[in-house]
Each structure stands twice: as structure tokens, then as C-alpha cells.
Chain A
Amino acid sequence: MALVALASGCIDYLDPGQHGVFRYFGEVRGAAPLDITPPISDRDGNVYVLYGDRDLFEVEAFVGHATGGWSSGCNLHKGDARGTHGWVGRAKNRAWYWSGDQLVEVSGDTGNCRAVLDRDPSSGANLRFVGVIPMVHETPSRTYLVAMLQSPTDPLPYLAVIDLDRARYSGLTQLSPRDASGVTMLGVGAAGDGETGVFLIEYVQGGVTHVEALFVDPDANVISRANISGNSAEVLTQDAVVGYLQSVTGKLTVGLLSTGELVAFDRGGGEIRANNAGIAPAGIHRWNDSLWLVGDGGGQPAVARLDASGAPQPAVVWTASERTAAALSGQVAVVDDRAEPRRKVGWPDPVAAVGPFPFVQAHSPDPYADGTTGLVIAGPAYQVSGQPQTSIAFGPVGLSYP
């Protein structure tokens, strides 16, 4: 009887390019491609979409509730020197984004948001999140992540464990060397092992500019430092890494720089190297324990696998992206989920809201289900005071890499 039940309960996942129900949840300023960070989801099935970009000093978070309906309005952002970095993790029914110098918690149940450690609980000093490892650890005892904090009076930032439930920090360790100055955060990343995070920083010591990768464990301990060499190392600017650094095992780590070059390193060291994949790169993705360079391959979505040294293999056309784009041609049924009761509407020829092609984006797509990720599409647009406003919808889409 049980076997019969299980046999009859087969589950069909989405094939690459196939999409599920698109949920129309709002409008944002601009025309496609839009300044949107690819969506993520929590364990309860709530979906989070972030309107924002590295060059945009504002943000708005949208929350698609698992039971239907959306919430929006969260626009917490700190600072005017850095834009939106992206989502840094999720838990059962919450997610956190890092925008400017602020870490923000968003509730999947209500859409409510709050700044995490906006000020030091002891001194009341204004705290800056210089860097945040994009990996939330959720255990029965606590929910936490590792970040680099700095207050205006601190000469150097501190590594710390951020307790996301209690909004407290612990395990403070000041960055070394102590005589460093001009510490600049170039990029952050998390490994697929669920343990290791990495900060890529630049600092000056004794008049010499250093670029270093700091591998950290979940307790904010630096477990390894790697020196990065390369031609452009001395001209890197803040948040030079596009999207996040990507790593499978916590050893080889690769990132795409805003200069179009790649930075690849392990715990022993690394370098900045030219991108010779023959594509206009958009980002480094991690998917199913592999790293990929994605981009525009001459008017087509292209993808190149990165080998064990972080070097891109010959790029090929990304068929899953093409299939998704093809599936969006014509009239696409969309559920207007902005307010209840829901109703179906049709969008003519919507396009991927992020990037020139579906999935060709700076951030790695977030796994939504087996072989499935979330996709934001851009639909009808209209003008407000001469500015385009574009309707956007979220839906699950089947995804594969070559």
C-alpha cells in the first residue's frame, strides 16, 4: 500500500527553461534589464526580491509569502558610498540583505524588516557592516553569520559573529596587521561546504598595498590568509568583485572583478588574471558543485566552466537560458498577486528582469528546488514623470548548466 502511494505520488520538477506560475508583485523604476538582485527563498517557501544595485544607493525589498500575496516597502539602507550588495542568507522564515553599510532582516511571514546592529548595543556608536559573509548559519540553538564591523572611531574593522536572533555580536577580533590602514572591502563569498567564508580586502602597510583573502570559519576565526598578486591589484576599488566570490569546497575561490578580470585563489595564494573566455562576463555562478563564468557570447547567452585552477574553459551557448527566453515569448499568463483576490492577467513578451538574458547576471542563481531557480521577469511598462516604471513578476524556472 505504501509503495502504491509513493508510486502515485511522483513529483515532476520543471525542465530547463520550463516555468511555473509567475506572480506579479509590483513595479520598479527603470526598464529591463532592471537593477534587481536575483531572488532567494527561505525554508518555508517565502520568496525575497531585492530592488537595488551596486551603483544605486537605495533599495526596496519585496516578500512573496508562501501562502500567496506580497509585501513591500522595506527600504533600509545605510551610507552613500556603497550600493546594494545583495541577499546574504536565509533561515526558516527570514532572510537578510546587505545594502550599503547595513545588514537588514526581512520577515517572510509579514514583510517586516529591521536593521541588525545599526548601532553598537554598548556604546551606541554607529556601526558599519564593512563586509558580510553571505552565509547564514541556522542551527537549533541560534542563527548567525560572520561579518566585518567598524565604528567611526575604530582604526581597523573587527571580525565578529553576528547573532541574528538576539542582534548581538560576539567573538570580536580586530583585523590584523594592526598597522594597516586604508582597509577596503573588495568582495565577500561563501563556500558550498557551508563552513568557510572569505573576505577579499585591500590595505596599505608601510606604504605598500596588499590584496589579501581572509578565509574565516563560522566562529569568525581567520583560518587562512592568502596573498593575491596581479597586474591590477593596486588599482582595485571598493566592492570590486561583481556579485559574490564563489567557491565549492572553501579552497579554490573565484570572483569576477568590475574590470572584467578574474580573481582566483586558494588558501595558499592567488592572482588576478585576464578573462580569456571570449565572452563579455556578467558573473561567476556556483551550481551543483561546479563554478561557471556566464556572460554575453556575441548576442547569445554563454557559459564557460571553470577548471580546477579557476581558468575558464571554452564558452558554449547556454541553452537553458535560451529555452527560458523562448518560453517567455508571446502571451505569458501571470497571476496578479499584488492584492487579493488574485486574478490572472496576460503579459505580452515579458523578458528576464535581470541581465541581458535569463540567468546571465552577477549573482549566482539561488536554488529554489531540485533543478529550479527563481526568475524575475519584466512585463508591461509605463511612464511616470518621464521615468519608466516596469511591472515585475516572480516565478520558478527550470535551470541547468551544460
Chain B
Amino acid sequence: MTGHNAVMAAALVVALAGGGRIARAQVRGDDSATIDDSDIDTSGDSSDLDNSDDAGDSDALDTDNEADTGDEVDNDNEADTGIHEGDHAPASDAAGDDIVMLLPNVRITGYLQPAAAVRYRPDAVPLDRWTWGAEATRTGVIFAGDPFEHWNFLLHVVVGANIFQTIRSIDVIDRDGDGSPEDIDARTQDQPGLLVEQATVSYAPLPTLDFHFGQMRIPFTVQNQSPNTALMFPSRSGPNEVFLSGTDLGALATFAPSARFKVQAGVFNGTDATSFMEQVRGVLLALRADANLLGAFPFAEGDPLRGPLRIGIGAGLLYFPAQGFDSTGFAGASIRDLRASASVRVAVEGFYLQAEVLRRQRTDSLSNRPLIATGGYGQVSYYIRMAADLGVAPIARWGITTEDQSFSPRTTMWSEAGVAFYINPTPEAPNKLKLTLHVLDERRLTEGENAHGAIAQLQLRF
């Protein structure tokens, strides 16, 4: 982003925050405020094969109906929110002018991801059997800055990350006119979602240690740490979304003594950790460790730089002990929710392999029915440099998840394959302009229903 754009966007923020007061930015003629947007890399997930509004399929064929719209920011432990000396846009010096420029340390970056998809669900009602068309264009906008030494902030909002159904009107139906309604007709309307992907203040007392406070994704899996614009496929794997999605409120400490090792520990509200109790109180403890055995290995999926051999292993843990309360405010059931993940990644000369296994066990003191789920996925790609301005990477992924293992196991299997085109790749930002074409097959083995789809997504980062 040029300094011109950054300042203009900052002015827009001022205008919005200032109750409509028009701000005109001071425009610098240089590009010194340019930042590497590969460092601030966020986006939202697209849904895969379920765009229907069927009743009764609350979680069917739809693993990302929750607010899981983006990526972790600062995935590679680089100082991606800092602005280098001299990069600051100047404060307003327009004395006598009505121009006010108050946010000199704000950088703005983002991305757009228009997409089109076709889906076929042979067992659905005719309305939902074939669906096709353009998808909501996910647009991520990120404001970042470091107004004080060691302190920085980041706000990341995603527009169109998902489609929400909102109730437009409700009619009470009284067919026989006896004053007793027989039914209710609720009319809904699709609305693009506007989600806060991340809103954090960070403090980095040491180069190897920083603390994030606010709303963020929990670094439970590798994919939860991967920038969405650097994902192999347009969305994360199905198993990953089953075990954790969305953001949470809390604090996260990251300790990275070297590029080879990173430990993250956090405490969160756990508000997205359970749907079992509406009124729960507890602290979600998160722990994640990643070791890159042969050197730095960022979480971007793929190897467009065709680097040397790198190997990364890691594990994540979420533990959520909580107390539920009934509607009168008295203690109800207590909950213990435990999730674990383990991962391995390998990259060499364009080849990239990533696999994760996940497990969840949740128990409570009331039901004696544990909630158990197990899943995993593996994905692979191979980057081929076709020309100086074009790279092509065949991609493939397979995943499986079994839920409700203690009660009535339900297994879902995903198979995906496609190709990603890297247009005008540069070593600094190989995926600034990227086109991904892929097909997806989702098999509900237990229910005996399948869905198939093809998705094309264009990604442009700015």
C-alpha cells in the first residue's frame, strides 16, 4: 500500500470516528509507508458445499456457519504491525485548515476474494439440488499501527465472509380465526456478514515475547494460524472447522526464542467453546507449541518459493473447565471440554505436505453422555514455476471426521483436488494475485448423502 492510500484510509477512519467530519489527508509523495502485506494477511472462510437454507440441516454439509471468517494475524512472528521509522504519515500541519489528520501511525491493508461456485446435492429437494452463481466477495480490511514503542494494535474486519439469515418479519397464522395461532411464518433475508476477525492490542517487551489482548483466533491448529490468503484451498479443511472455529476474547502470550520454536499460551472466555450451556462461566486455557526442525517455516500453506527442506511439528491443546448456571442464576452442571491437535508439515523445492489429527472430549456432570469427536486431514501441493510471471500448483486434500462417537457415530469424509495459479508471483508476496480452481466431494457416510461442488476463487491483496 502506498503512503498516499494509507493516509487517505486513515482520514476515512477519522471521518467515520468523528461523526462525519470531513478529513482531508496530507498526501505524501513517497511510498515510504509501504508495508509488506504478506505479514498482515487475513481473510474469511468461504462455505463449501452448503448454501441452502434447509431447516433441519443445522450442521449438515456446513462446517463453517459460525463466525469463522478469517485468519490469524501475525502468524510468523514477524513484526508485522510495526511501522518502520520514517514511515509515519505526518500529523496534520494544515493550520487554519479544517483538515484534521490524527492517525499518522495507521496502516491499512486488505484483500478481496470474489468467488463462484456450483454445487450438486443429489438427495436434496429440487430447489437445493443444483445451486450455482457468484459467492459473496469476502473483503478484509486491516488497520494496524504502533503508536507507542512496544505497543501496537490491529483491527481486522471481514465483510461478506459469510451469509447470515436475518428474520425480516414474523406473521402469526390463525387459519380458523379462533384467536389461537396455528402457525408462525417467519420470513428471512440473506445478509452478508460483517465480522470482527481480530481486534487486539499487543505489547512486545522483548523481541522474542509478545502479548495480545482482545479478540482473536485461538492458535489451536496449524490451519488456524495460517493466513487465509496463504491457504492451499479457498477455505480451511472440514475437520479443522469442526473442532474450532471463530474467534474469542482473551489474552495470548507468544514466546519465540528462535525461528525454530514457538510457544503460545492464552486464556480466553470460551464463549465459542461450547454450545452446550448458554450460561457458562469458565476460562478456556489454550496452549500451542510448534517446532521447525530445520529452520524457519512460516504457516503459509504451499511452497511457492521452492525452498530447502523444512519440517515442522506441533501440538495444540484447549481445556475449558466451566460451570453452568440455570435461568435463575443457580449453579447447574459443570463442564470439562478438552481438545487436542497434533500436526506435521514438510516442504521442499515446491512440494508441501501438511497433516493434522484432532480430538475432542467433553463431559459434564449432568448427562453422563460424553461428547467425543475425532478427525484429521492431509493436504499436499507441488508448486511449478511455469514462467517468470506464472506459477501453477496442483493441490489435493482429504479429511475425515467422526462426531458423536459415544452416542451415535456420524462420519463425514471430504475429498478435494484442484489447481492454484499464482499470477505475477514475487518472493515477497507470491500469492498477491491467485486463482484457485477446485472440486470438492463431501460424503456423509453415516447419513448416506453426498454433495459435490466446484469453486473458483480469485484472490487479490492490496
Contacts and interface: CB of A to CB of B under 8 A. Distances in A.
B278 interface: yes
A2 B316 contact: yes
A289 interface: no
B339 to A, nearest CB: 8
Contact of B330 (A5, A43, A194, A341): A341
A21 interface: yes
Most buried by A among B58, B62, B451: B58
Given A2-B315, A165-B55, A43 B449 contact: no
Nearest to A343: B330
Interface string B113-125: 0000000010111
A9 B374 CA distance: 14
Given A139-B444, A141-B121, A141-B124, A67 B56 contact: no
Contacts of B316: 1-2
A139 B406 contact: no
B363 interface: yes
A342 to B, nearest CB: 7
A206 interface: no
Nearest to A167: B183
Contacts of A67: 276-278, 324, 326, 332-333
A355 interface: no
Interface in B266-288: 276-278, 287
A89 B4 CA distance: 63
Nearest to B338: A9
Interface string A38-71: 0001010100000000000000000000111100
Contacts of A370: 406-407
B408 A2 contact: no
**Chain A: interface size category:** 35 or more
Nearest to A368: B369
A24 to B, nearest CB: 13
B363 A11 contact: yes
B415 interface: no
Interface string B418-450: 000000000000000000000000001011110
A143 interface: yes
Given A2-B317, A21-B366, A69 B326 contact: yes
Contacts of A138: 56, 447
Most buried by A among B50, B56, B125, B278: B56
A140 B369 contact: no
B408 A43 contact: yes
B367 interface: yes
Most buried by B among A1, A41, A143: A1
B276 A137 contact: no
A346 B70 CA distance: 51
Interface string A108-139: 00000000000000000000000000000111
Interface residues of B, number: 58
Contact of A140 (B332, B408, B449): B449
A140 B368 contact: no
A137 B123 CA distance: 12
A55 to B, nearest CB: 31
A369 interface: yes
Interface string A371-382: 010000000000
B361 A45 contact: no
B448 to A, nearest CB: 7
A2 B276 contact: no
A20 B367 CA distance: 8
A6 B404 contact: no
Nearest to B447: A139
Contacts of A356: none
Nearest to B316: A2
A335 to B, nearest CB: 8
A142 B127 CA distance: 12
A74 interface: no
A5 B340 CA distance: 7
A372 B368 contact: yes
B123 A68 contact: no
Contacts of A45: 276, 367, 369
Contacts of B369: 41, 45, 368-369, 372, 396
B89 interface: no
Interface string A333-350: 000000011100000000
Contact of B407 (A68, A91, A141, A369): A369
A9 B57 CA distance: 30
Contact of A141 (B125, B278, B324, B406): B125
A342 B52 CA distance: 40
Nearest to B336: A9
A143 B60 CA distance: 11
A11 B278 CA distance: 24
User: What 9 A-B pairs come out closest when comparing CB atoms?
Assistant: A140-B60, A341-B330, A20-B368, A141-B124, A140-B61, A2-B340, A5-B340, A396-B368, A340-B326
Interface of A: 1-3, 5-6, 8-9, 11, 13-14, 20-21, 23, 41, 43, 45, 66-69, 91-92, 137-143, 164-166, 194-195, 340-342, 367-370, 372, 396
Interface of B: 50, 52, 54-62, 121, 123-125, 128, 276-278, 287, 289, 315-317, 319, 324, 326-330, 332-333, 338, 340-342, 357, 359, 361, 363, 365-370, 372, 404, 406-408, 444, 446-449, 451
21 contacts: A1-B315, A1-B316, A2-B357, A2-B359, A5-B340, A6-B340, A11-B361, A11-B372, A20-B368, A138-B56, A140-B62, A140-B124, A141-B125, A143-B56, A166-B55, A194-B446, A341-B326, A341-B328, A369-B369, A369-B406, A396-B367
